[in-house]
Amino acid sequence: MSMLQFFIAVDVTVVNIALPSIGAEFETDGHTLTWVVVGYTVTGGGMLMLGGRLGDLLGRRRVLLLGTGLFGAASLLAGLAPTFSLLVVARLAQGAGEAIALPAAMAVVVLTFPEGPRRTRALGVWAAVASCGLVLGFVLSGFLTAHLGWRWIFLVSVPFVLVVMVAAVLLVERDRPLAEDAPPLDLPGALLLTACPLLLTFGVVEAGEPGTPAWVVVAALAGAVAAGAGSVRVEARARNPLLPLRFLAHRTRVTANVTTMLLSGGLSTSFLLFTFHLQDRSGVGPLGAGLLMLPLAVSLIAFSVLVPRLVGRWGARVCVLAGLGSTAAAMGVIALVSAVGAGAAAMVPAMLLIAAGMAFGLVGLQYVAVSGVTDDDAGIASGVQRAADQLGGATGVAVCVGVGFAPALHSFDPFLVAALLATAGLVAGGVVALRMPEPDPAGAASSEVPEQAG
């Protein structure tokens, strides 16, 4: 499961350093190139709840194999894409494959280990592998782009995806036979919950483009609001809702997922700011930029080994607040480095702080977000948590980087604007995290949802 998580995480960041090369081959400007990053994360995030629900209804091994196969086929298509449009389509398909496979994989991990220290350690491994995949994506991207070409950043994952599929067949427990009277899937809810973040991100990204008509932006944002409101109405009436509203009555999980969105927005913004500073301002090539991310990768591994022990000793909330504070401090360093025009090496302190922010924040939040789950709702709980992570990152990039680097604000330092917006989100995350209850290690946290709420 962690190998699948690793390569899915790699695909979130592996394109960043390769973007200039992709743009040069397809003669595409930087604004349009953002869809290679955002299209993947938004589609994946928007469909994660659907993937989680599919795992609960159809069986986790079936859904795991379906999503992993789709992810592998889309990776092959992305590596062979003859046009930029087809590359974006492949990235959207990769996001869909991730959304189907990842909640099932995380649910397998959660249900295999009982709540308490064993699950904390398991989720620590899971989060460490994901975080290393995100960071090593930069290193891998730099090496492959410099020596083999950008297409190999997608092709390299195909054989490993096949290994995961074979291992899943051999190691993951078989699903129960499908019941003939199984409840129907909530397709209207799935469409609305997917359309909402897609329209929101499209509107925010296009708002920073001078040539985009104002009515297009307004229509996209209005559509996002309408889809969000419609999804609430549909889910309240559906026989088998994709996201049961009683899930939102669980205060511990809801606050954890909101905090995850705000933290992931800052973390994803920092990755792009690192890339832009190293390549555009410091003139470092793809391979050099990838290697300069190694301090982040090494320190992240060290923190990820330490944090699961501290979650049990300090509590998840303290670790989450430490992660938010470290990420906010990193934003301050990024803004300062940009303001004084320092070289590439000056970004290393910010990288170390981001590593601490990822390890402390994400491990603590993942533990809280799946507290009290059962076999019936482990998939949807995992899907919502992953959706919060993905959508928070995509929205953070769209807002912070999209606004910070918008032509309309050319008189301001884009790094400073992006860092300030990200910091504001992190402060809001800290306020939410302060109200986050500590989960009961024995699983009592699930009792927050009244029996009659279902």
Match 């938004």 to its residue by tokens. Answer: 42
Among candidate residues 224, 241, 258, the one where a domain is terminated: 241
Residue range of the domain that includes 357: 2-174+242-448
User: Is the distance from CB of 273 to CB of 415 less than 8 angstroms?
Assistant: yes
Angle (CA) 164-43-183 rounded to 5° is 75
Examine the domain organization and report whether 296 and 284 are in the same domain. yes
Cα angle at 42 between 38 and 48, to 5 degrees?
Answer: 150
Question: Is there a domain that residue 388 lies in?
Answer: yes
Angle of helix 316-340 versus helix 251-276 axis, rounded to 10: 20
Show the beta-strand stretches assigned E in 398-454. none
Length of the chain in terms of residues written: 454
Please name the residue ranges forming H helices in 172-250: 187-207, 214-237
CA pair distance 139, 147, nearest whole angstrom: 12
For residues 75 and 32, state if they share a domain: yes
* Residue 179 included in any domain: no
Continuous H helices in 173-213: 187-207
Residue 38 shares a structural domain with residue 146: yes
CATH code: domain of residue 163: 1.20.1250.20
Same structural domain, 70 and 126? yes
- Distance of alpha carbon 430 from alpha carbon 401, whole angstroms: 21
Q: What Cα–Cα distance (Å) separates residue 419 from each residue in 67, 106, 266, 335, 414?
A: 35, 31, 8, 6, 8
Cβ count near 345 (within 10 Å):
11
Question: Cα separation of 219 and 416, whole Å?
Answer: 30
Q: Are 206 and 71 part of one and the same domain?
A: no
Mark whether 113 and 58 lie in a shared domain: yes
Domain boundary among 197, 220, 241: 241
Cβ burial, residue 270 (10 Å; 0-12/13-18/19+): buried
453 assigned to some structural domain: no
Residues 144 and 255 in one domain: yes
Q: What is the pLDDT of residue 209?
A: 64
- The answer on 272 and 193 residing in a single domain is no
Q: Per-residue pLDDT for the chain (454 aa), expressed as one digit of tens each?
A: 888 888 887 777 678 778 778 888 888 766 677 778 777 877 877 787 778 778 877 888 899 999 999 999 999 999 999 999 999 999 999 989 988 898 888 888 887 887 777 877 787 777 777 767 766 777 777 788 878 888 998 998 899 899 989 998 988 888 877 666 666 777 788 788 778 877 877 777 677 566 778 888 899 889 989 998 998 888 888 777 777 777 777 788 889 989 999 999 999 888 888 878 887 777 777 677 777 877 887 888 788 778 878 887 888 889 999 999 999 999 999 999 988 888 888 889 999 999 899 889 988 888 888 777 666 666 677 777 877 887 788 788 878 887 777 766 667 888 888 999 999 999 999 999 988 877 665 443 333 433 333 3
The answer to whether residues 197 and 67 belong to one domain is no
The burial class, CB within 10 Å (0-12 / 13-18 / 19+), for 26 is: middle
CB 354 within 8 A of CB 330: yes
Residue 118 lies in a domain: yes
The answer as to whether 273 is a domain residue is yes
Report the alpha-carbon distance of residue 235 to residue 190 in Å, rounded: 10
349 and 322 within one domain: yes
Query: Is the residue at 181 inside a domain?
Result: no
In angstroms, the CA 394 to CA 391 distance is: 5
- Asked if 62 and 135 sit in the same domain, the reply is yes
**Ramachandran bin of 373, using left for φ above 0, alpha for ψ from -120 to 50, beta for the remaining angles:** beta
How many domains in the chain? Answer: 2
Domain presence at residue 192? yes
Task: Say yes or no: 170 and 199 in one domain.
Answer: no
Residue 349 is assigned to a structural domain of this protein: yes
